[in-house]
Amino acid sequence: AQKITQTQPGMFVQEKEAVTLDCTYDTSDQSYGLFWYKQPSSGEMIFLIYQGSYDEQNATEGRYSLNFQKARKSANLVISASQLGDSAMYFCAMRPVKAAGNKLTFGGGTRVLVKP
């Protein structure tokens, strides 16, 4: 079974500053994928970034980067140069690679509010 923990229920960040969202996970699987999604108030989940457990380098997608520390079982999301539109809920999720299917296990989420 997989478990995702996001310990920050909510946080404020100043516009144009960077913010790090914490995510730790627990799994017995050797091969797995880690995901981050953004959920604005509209409700739709927006895919941000993906990291495979065997990827050598940390994933980056524009202003998003994933700080992956396998030994610590952490996959923190870093958002650089925050914008007002970044205000949303952010979810960390994982899926074992060996298992057939797209079942994602989500963390509880972190609410980010960007201040002007």
Partner 1 sequence: KAGVTQTPRYLIKTRGQQVTLSCSPISGHRSVSWYQQTPGQGLQFLFEYFSETQRNKGNFPGRFSGRQFSNSRSEMNVSTLELGDSALYLCASSSRTGDNEQFFGPGTRLTVL
Provide the minimum distance between the beta carbon of 14 and partner 1 in the complex, in angstroms, as a whole number.
28
Interatomic CA distance for residues 52 and 58, integer angstroms = 9
Residues 64-93: x/- map of binding to partner 1 (CB under 8 A)?
Answer: ---------------------------x-x
User: Is the Cβ of residue 14 or residue 60 nearer to partner 1 in the bound state?
Assistant: 60
Residue 103 binds partner 1, judged by CB under 8 A:
yes
Cα 84 to Cα 28, 67, 98, distances in angstroms: 38, 23, 38
**Would strands 19-21 and 74-79 be described as parallel, antiparallel, or unpaired?**
antiparallel
Residue 10 binds partner 1, judged by CB under 8 A:
no
Residue 33 binds partner 1, judged by CB under 8 A:
yes
User: Is the Cβ of residue 32 or residue 79 nearer to partner 1 in the bound state?
Assistant: 32
| 3-state helix/strand/coil string of 60-113 | EECCEEEEEECCCCEEEEEECCCCHHHCEEEEEEEEECCCCCCCCEECCCEEEE
Residues in contact with partner 1 by CB under 8 A are 33, 37, 42-47, 50, 52, 91, 93, 97, 99-109
